[in-house]
Chain A
Amino acid sequence: MCLAIPAKIIEIDQQMATVEVGGVTRRASVILLPDAGLGDFVLIHAGFAISLVDEREAHETIKMFEALASEIDNQGDPGRPAPENETGESGSSHMDT
């Protein structure tokens, strides 16, 4: 229920910070993250930093996905595009009950 995206703190002054993501900057409150500091990555929701982004975990997550992709590639069946059933009559799990 929550849109939040990671942004970098590029300026911080007590409870307000300037955060940057993809070339846009915005003011955000860091009142919910007393330990946040310059250079930290934080999740921004509705103008507030709500959580620190653990960079190591972020890299680990991608690495894990990459490793899996390589594993599947090596099995000789790289992820093929899924079959065309977007109308859901065959497999869409939402329809069956």
Chain B
Amino acid sequence: MPLPYLDDYRQGRLVRSLMAKLEERTAVLNRPVRIMEVCGTHTMAISRHGIRQTLPEVLGLVSGPGCPVCVTANADIDTFIEMSLQPGVIAATFGDMLRVPGTKIGLAEARGRGAQVQIVYSTLDSLQLARDNPEETVIFFGIGFETTAPTVAAALVEAHETGLENFMVLSAHKTVPRALSVLCQTPDLAIDAFLCPGHVTAIIGPDAYLPVAQDSGLPCVVAGFEPSDILQSLIMLTDQLTDERAEVEVQYQRGVRADGNPAAMALIDRVFEPTDADWRGLGVIPGSGLTIREQYAAHDAARNFEVDVSYSHEPKGCLCGAILTGLKTPPDCPLFAGACTPDHAVGPCMVSSEGTCAAYFLYET
């Protein structure tokens, strides 16, 4: 029998019956609850399938810092942009980053000023770019969490082993579990449960959330990305809340193993080491970033390129930080849908395809 695929998980009948069951299960909740969707891809899926509009009133969904583009600090963005403007550099990046504004300009404007900016789908494509352009240096912008970091690690290993000297990475990678722990300690944070990212967890394994469940007493469900997955996960979280349990459960059984992906984790560890990282909205979180190890220094753009980003600062008035931590919603931001729209975005939450503000603007305004 063919593997169930896409539409199988999106059948109206299944999705509507899951919503009916969710309504039934939330009826016994005696108070409104707020669930944080950690992952930006979840935010987009929830918006795209119109889930938010049909949820029972008692269930509130709040977007968390799981959008790597949104949490990348301006200093990192500006650094990559400055590098892209240097002669002899090909700036390779995932498409997500092209329209993200830095302090002064974004990558699209840098391209307009003559920077060679190349969108790639995979780090493997950026390796090929380096091979095809031996006279230039390809700098790949390493953004993303543990799902993406192993793919960048693999590229660095290959570059190192094949002596591809003109391939480098600027790492702005971040890791999820520490950020969640810090989030759990925020005093004003009124979050009752976490909808956890299915693909990050495929790499790090569900046990990574045990501290959240056990130390902070917050239920966690690792969710897939189809509307039926998300609804079933919300049912599971509701049940935990009703039963006053705080466990880590996996809804996304078909994609997540109990031990995650050890080979991928080992590759991350081989190439990267933890460092302090500045998360837009959360500030500096110790040990939550990934920096390239000394052994691969020849391929670390940060060590090989001097750029001056002393002008970097976060945009004024922008509430991206508070929105990312679930403290505010897009309509609370004075810039939302006025000075800040997808066409002329002030902060990344509007520009990023999975940014909370973009999802709101596109699907709900």
Contact = CB atoms under 8 A, between A and B. Distances in A.
Do any beta carbons of A and B sit within 8 angstroms of each other in the complex? yes
A2 B43 CA distance: 11
Nearest to B143: A1
Contacts of A6: 3, 5
A4 B354 CA distance: 14
Nearest to A48: B151
B17 A72 contact: yes
A59 B123 contact: no
A51 B261 contact: yes
Nearest to B327: A97
A2 B199 contact: yes
A13 interface: no
Given A1-B41, A78-B13, A95-B329, A46 B253 contact: no
Contacts of B256: 51
B154 interface: yes
B263 A33 contact: yes
Nearest to B354: A1
B52 interface: yes
Interface string B33-75: 0000001110000000010111111111110001110000000
Interface residues of B, number: 72
Contacts of A54: 253-255
Contact of B150 (A8, A22, A32): A32
Contacts of B53: 82, 85-86, 88, 91-92
Nearest to A52: B257
B54 A82 contact: yes
A53 interface: yes
Interface string A1-39: 111111010000000000001100001010111100000
A48 B150 contact: yes
A57 B253 contact: yes
Contacts of B257: 51-52
Contacts of A88: 52-53, 364
B147 A45 contact: yes
Given A86-B53, A93-B52, A22 B121 contact: no
Interface residues of A, number: 59
Interface in B124-164: 124-125, 144-145, 147-148, 150-151, 154
Interface stretch (B18-26, B79-87, B275-283, B312-320): B18-26
Interface string B1-18: 101111011001111111
B220 interface: no
B144 A1 contact: yes
Select the residue from B5, B39, B255, B364 with max chain A CB neighbours within 10 A: B255
B317 to A, nearest CB: 20
Interface in B112-126: 121-125
A39 to B, nearest CB: 11
B62 to A, nearest CB: 8
B124 A47 contact: yes
B18 A59 contact: no
A16 to B, nearest CB: 9
B101 interface: no
Contact of B147 (A1, A22, A78, A95): A1
7 contacts: A54-B255, A68-B14, A68-B17, A88-B52, A88-B53, A92-B52, A94-B60
Given A50-B264, A78-B13, 14 more contacts: A1-B67, A6-B3, A27-B124, A31-B154, A32-B151, A32-B267, A45-B199, A46-B122, A47-B151, A50-B202, A55-B3, A78-B16, A82-B53, A88-B364
